[in-house]
Chains A and B, each alone.
Chain A
Amino acid sequence: MAESFGQTAGWLDLMRAGDDTARTRLVEHSCERLRGLARKMLRRYPKVRRWEETDDVFVEAVTRLHRALDSVQPESPRHFYNLAATQIRRVLVDLSRRYYGPDGLGSHHDTVGAGTDANAVPRYERADPSGEPATLAAWKECYEQIMTLPDEQREIVDLLYISQLTQEEAAKMLGVTVRTVRRRWREARYRLQKVLG
């Protein structure tokens, strides 16, 4: 997504001029990122991932984002990224809610080699020493916690983590120094990781 940052501004201009193709490109752009994050979240759950990839979740996300862009005309790339990141986070929270737990859709799908508990880490996966969320519940918690961050930190997480901009691109968009971006990004990661444990 990072290399498309410059294109975003151009597409926004075209969209404001009434170009529907530009609108579609902007939505596709965000959906691609959503797909990456969803895969990351579900990669420990082969049985739901296999199922999810044929699900209509992305169609739903596309529809949702289209609707959001219909109702609000993004004034700037920054506005667009904020809007898109908010939508992506919401879809991911819904997705995790939909699959985890005894009543989650994933628990009714069987995959050879996986356990019976949809939230259990598959037996053959290596333990992960990083602080990355290990369960769908933890991912849901993570995305909800992002929403509670102070605005400046939340926006940095949205730009760097959700939208995958580089620090230089984020600094340019926000009109701050790269150093400031680094500091906010660090504070946000620290705060999030402390909460997530």
Chain B
Amino acid sequence: MTSDTEDQFHDLLDRWEELREQGHEPGVEELCRDAPHLAERLREWTSVLKTADWMCRRADEIADETLGEAGVLTAEEKDRHRTLGEYARLEELGGGGMGRVFKAVHRKMNRAVAVKLLPESLVQSPDSVERFRREVRALARLSHPNVVAVHDAGEAGGTHFYVMDLVDGEDLGRLVKDNGPMPVEQALDCLLQAARGLEYAHAQGVVHRDIKPSNLILDRDGTVKILDLGIARFQPLPSTETAGEQDLTRTGCVLGTIDYMAPEQAMNTRLADHRADIYSLGCTLYFLLTGQPLFDGETVMERIVAHRERPARSLREACPSVPKWLNAVFRKMVAKRPEDRYQSVTALVADLAQRSAPPSWRRFRIVAMTALLLAVVAGSVWLTTTVYRGEKSQEPQQQKPLELPVKPTWRTTGEYPLIAGVWSIVQNKGTLVRIVQHGGDFVATASYKSGEETVSWRAEGRISKSGHITMRFIHTQPHPPDKWLPQTRTAVLGLHGKSLEGYAAYEGGGHKFTWRLVEPRSAEEKELPK
């Protein structure tokens, strides 16, 4: 069997396992519709693998069996306390008003996830169950690097739960409590990333309604992910009266957290739209930079009234290093009347990018766009126009890295030989990248799976003596779902041990990322990409 056929065969088995993980029992004929020649072998393998399911069971489950046999736990208790359908429950990660969160492992697939439960005390309430189901439906539609992905939902032994990515990191509330207020650059980076996640959610018709520092988690790769869309609901549809339009305050719940809640949301949740999230994000920015909530007050009512009536404090008074323009952005985010705020997160992101960009960067954009137009006119497809300003020579040591909206903070090591070769980008779901280096120039090509499609990109760049790499992404096929990639003009990277840390810049913003590179071990991996 050729390597291609073998890969195709294992792709089918991947699919078979994924469907089983979701509780389906897929037929071989259905899976092999486009590859009937593999059907017989697939039938034999799936039959053997089903018999081998026992190898996938966890120690917890085995321990439960032992306890069950010893009469310590009844079968019903085991189900209730240790497992949730296909998931074995491990330690608790945290809790919120609408549910506790546990680390868990899918028993067959051995995959670590986070499982959020609806508290048993609320199971009896039809409103809570309905709200929980609505949350799951809203979350299942979202897929974005800055939003925690949801995979599955279910009910076992009367417990409702949903399953999401296990994110390795800390929430911004905890980070600020432990380390004190953030530097302006870091807070701005977190703000931009959270804004991008929200922009995506809003585009899908989902309003968060509980944006606060503890619902934003910073993972080990430096990516901010929005957590706990626990009270998100669908935007009301203009023509139909849906369940999403129910006035949740009617049930006595004032949703969201008071310190970050928009005035109109505290009055009536139904009145709150996506602009309430912008307000909450503004309050979050204030907390990140000062370590304090925007308004204080001894009682909940005092704070609600403060959000409605008291003017917002100046960010610069509490944190003098904040530039004037950022204070202006903040004031617009926390305006009392929704119509005085940014009318969309997209407008907020654009304003942030424009105001934060130094004049030289704005000049560069004009120069770069002009250069691009000239290149098109000349019929050239060579897009590796220099991304250095004032370049006179081909010598990398005479070039300066492009100035970006947010300054990268890494230190470079100058270990150039590190990057040439084929690498697997660890943090990016196994994306493989081939980096070919010719002196100070390099070409990177990468390929990864996004759903059913294979996404490819190509980037060309230059390495300076200081170890900075400036690159531009010039091909993507097809355009990946990540919004930033197709529009990316340049990215500056720094070598950091075996990691490339970078900042991608594009129209309207920037995006920080880290690639930890490891050498692929198998021949199968080294085949990608050419």
Contacts and interface: CB of A to CB of B under 8 A. Distances in A.
A175 B55 CA distance: 23
Contact of A190 (B52, B103, B112): B52
A107 interface: no
Contact of A189 (B52, B90, B524): B52
Contacts of A1: 59
Given A166-B105, A169-B112, A177-B430, A43 B69 contact: yes
Contact of B91 (A3, A46, A182, A183): A3
Contact of B54 (A3, A130, A180): A130
Given A166-B110, A186-B17, A193 B48 contact: yes
B424 A166 contact: no
Nearest to A172: B426
Interface stretch (A33-41, A65-73, A87-95): A33-41
A2 B111 CA distance: 11
Contact of B65 (A43, A166, A172, A177): A43
A55 interface: no
Nearest to B427: A172
B58 interface: yes
A182 B58 CA distance: 16
Interface in B65-94: 65-66, 69, 90-91
B524 A131 contact: no
Contacts of A160: 110
B102 to A, nearest CB: 11
Nearest to A179: B430
- Interface of B (DSSP majority class): helix
Contact of A174 (B49, B59, B63, B521): B521
- Interface of A (DSSP majority class): helix
A190 B54 contact: no
B49 A175 contact: no
Nearest to B112: A166
A168 B424 contact: no
A166 B90 CA distance: 12
B109 A167 contact: yes
B53 interface: yes
A179 B14 contact: yes
Contacts of B247: none
29 contacts: A3-B91, A36-B62, A39-B62, A40-B65, A43-B65, A43-B69, A46-B69, A130-B51, A132-B54, A160-B110, A164-B59, A166-B105, A172-B426, A175-B521, A176-B522, A176-B525, A177-B430, A177-B525, A179-B14, A182-B14, A183-B10, A186-B17, A186-B49, A189-B49, A189-B55, A190-B52, A192-B52, A192-B55, A193-B51
Interface of A: 1-3, 33, 36-37, 39-40, 43, 46, 130-132, 152, 157, 160-161, 164, 166-169, 171-172, 174-180, 182-183, 185-186, 189-190, 192-194
